Chain A
Amino acid sequence: MLTIEDLHKSFGEKEVIRGLDAKINKGEIFVIIGPSGQGKSTILRLIDLLDTPTDGSITLDGTEITSLGDRDKQQVRQRIGMVFQDPAIFQGSVYENVAYGLRFRTLPSEEVHRRVTQALHDVRLEGYEKQDARTLSGGEKHRVAFARTIVTQPDLILMDEPTSDLDPVTTGILEDLIFFIRDTYHATIILSTHDMFQGQRMGDRIAVMMGGTFIQTGTPKEVFTSPNTREVAYFIGFENIFDGEIIRSEGGVATIATGEREVLAVSDRPVGNKISWCLRTEDIRLHMSEERHGRAPMSNHMMGVVKSIGMVGPQNHVTIDCGIDITLVVSWRFAERVNLHPGMRVWVAFNAGSIQVMER
């Protein structure tokens, strides 16, 4: 469907897109996640031909589109729909707003009416046809933007952080709508978001964008369980990220030295490899005494002292000084029951298979 090769884009001295490669398959929801300012909007604008790349190519169904003439670019844009982060609402009624793109295609008025009516039905805005679009709520304006995009029946829909400034309920409605659009209109969707969990929920595949390029692409499971760099791990929510060096390796199990600590990890990297490793808080078990936990093979056990306890939602995040600071999650109830407090001696355990080893 869409292939991007070695794409670069500079604005003056600043290079925003740096050698980006990607292949997006027909009919998939491809989610670009990443912090603000990493080039997510720029890549969508380049695909929609609103900006011209400094170098590289974008190929849509076999045709390189960035070097086309104005007339051909306009034809390509008619195959692409874009929903902007802050949707533009034109002066006029909801009906006129949704019909806008169809007017450019000079369709017969009966066809315009049929498609607009269907699109308004799909986004659940029936009955709003005559209302001044500027008087709608934020969520309704987003739905108008969705309707305006799907009404032209594009092959490819680009969505630039379409729910970034909406409440969770409206976000949920729009996410359902995005799935509906994909299933009903069979469009390929590229969606950018800084909400990693939205990326996880929505994406058939996810690309993590940092520093103007995709530093990891894969299914949500691949990306969220096996980040390939320290930066990705940090962005997708790993709280325990460390640097280390592999000092022993045997049978696919590596011993990693981090400071004065040694941990076992499932990895076939060679001895001497300088790496980063990370561990999810929910993969760590907490014990109040050394005797109470069983010593499974290939598991890591450490004694430490509670350094701090912080409340996050219904849970406590507990940081334990084990020579390295390990953060884990316990429920409020558990923390109260065992009278967890700073300075308390505890034991932590985690399996070697829970550790993700990454390039440093």
Chain B
Amino acid sequence: MNEIIDGFLTAIHLIVTFDPEVYEVAFRSIYITFSATVIASVISIPIALFLAFRTFPGKRTIINLVHTLYALPTVLIGLVVFLMLSRQGPFGFLGLLFTPGAMIIGQVILIIPIIIGLTYSALVALDPVIKDTIISLGADYFQFMVSILKEIRFVVYATVAMAFGRAISEVGAAIMIGGNIRGYTRVLTTSIALETSMGNIELSMALGMILLFIALTLNFIMTSIRRESD
């Protein structure tokens, strides 16, 4: 018990004294996940709009597939990206394996189905009169899409925040394709896993508290968005 309390106090000390190692890992985590979230959003939101407002053969299958991919195991993503980026893989020439870039790719793949799926659900649930009114008011295709997104913006914000949370807390793929290289690809989750296995409980707890703080902040943001949208 004393060990846990001591670990907790040391962790607090590391945070309040701005321990460089702790903050370097934390900022890298945020940088990688933020990049992945932005990229995934830019890809996913137009796809969700396309799925919601266009009719084509196989649409239902794609939507089912997207929903299924919500539960995609992160180690599976890690394996696939590893195989793609490894020296023998089709994209091995890019030299991305064990780089932050590879970790961003892994996180993008992880959260794309979440953003597509939740945005699509919000779009199809939107009152059809809203859509008709926008068209009726003379919007062109681009204005229509922007207006529709404006109407569901709070859902989109919450979805993106949720996707960020999912990505930053992921560990399996991060270890497999990032390699957990100190000072380069080590992020909060991989670092916690490593330091715990090495017995550095204080450092693990400090990193864990930062991760928890990020999660709480995201939760606060989502609650605020929900309150605003109501």
Contacts and interface: CB of A to CB of B under 8 A. Distances in A.
B130 A48 contact: no
B129 A74 contact: no
- From A71, A88, A101, residue with most partner B Cβ within 10 Å: A88
A148 B137 contact: yes
Interface in B36-77: none
B121 interface: no
A84 B129 contact: yes
Contacts of B140: 71, 74, 104
Contacts of B136: 48, 50, 77, 80-82, 84
Interface of A: 45, 48, 50, 70-71, 74, 77-78, 80-82, 84, 86-88, 90-91, 100-101, 103-105, 148, 152
A104 B151 contact: no
Contacts of B137: 77, 100-101, 104, 148, 152
B138 interface: yes
Nearest to B126: A88
A77 B138 contact: yes
Interface string B143-157: 100010011010000
Contacts of B135: 50, 77
B132 interface: yes
B139 interface: yes
A50 B141 contact: no
B133 interface: yes
A4 B134 CA distance: 25
The 3 closest A-B pairs by CB, nearest first: A78-B138, A101-B137, A88-B133
A84 B138 contact: no
Nearest to B230: A134
Nearest to A51: B132
A70 B129 contact: no
Name which of B135, B136, B140, B143 has the most chain A CB atoms within 10 A of its CB. Answer: B136
Contact of B133 (A78, A84, A103): A84
Nearest to A102: B137
B3 interface: no
Contacts of B130: 88, 90
Contacts of A80: 136
A82 B133 CA distance: 8
A81 B143 CA distance: 17
Contacts of A148: 137
A104 B133 contact: no
Nearest to A79: B138
B149 to A, nearest CB: 11
Contact of A50 (B127, B132, B147, B229): B132
A327 B153 CA distance: 59
Nearest to A76: B138
12 contacts: A74-B140, A78-B138, A80-B136, A81-B136, A82-B132, A84-B136, A90-B150, A100-B134, A104-B137, A104-B140, A104-B143, A152-B138
Contacts of A104: 137-140, 143
A84 B132 contact: yes
Contacts of A103: 143
A100 B187 CA distance: 45
Contact of B139 (A45, A71, A74, A87): A74
A104 B135 CA distance: 10
Contacts of B134: 100
Contacts of B147: 90, 100
Contacts of B139: 74, 104
Given A84-B129, A84-B133, A90 B151 contact: yes
Contacts of A91: 150-151, 153, 229
Contacts of A90: 130, 133, 147, 150-151
Given A50-B135, A74-B140, A77-B135, 17 more contacts: A45-B132, A70-B141, A71-B140, A74-B138, A74-B139, A77-B138, A81-B136, A84-B136, A86-B129, A87-B129, A87-B133, A88-B127, A88-B129, A90-B150, A91-B229, A100-B147, A104-B138
A122 B135 CA distance: 24
Interface in B167-205: none
A78 B140 CA distance: 10
Nearest to B137: A101
Interface string B103-143: 00000000000000000000000010110111111111101
A47 to B, nearest CB: 11
B112 to A, nearest CB: 26
Nearest to B133: A88
Nearest to B139: A104
Nearest to B127: A88
Contacts of A87: 129, 133
A81 B132 CA distance: 12
A70 B129 CA distance: 20
A86 B51 CA distance: 26
B35 to A, nearest CB: 29
Contacts of A88: 127, 129-130, 132-133
A212 to B, nearest CB: 21
Contacts of B133: 82, 84, 87-88, 90
Contacts of A70: 141
Nearest to B228: A91
A92 to B, nearest CB: 8
A111 to B, nearest CB: 16
Nearest to A101: B137
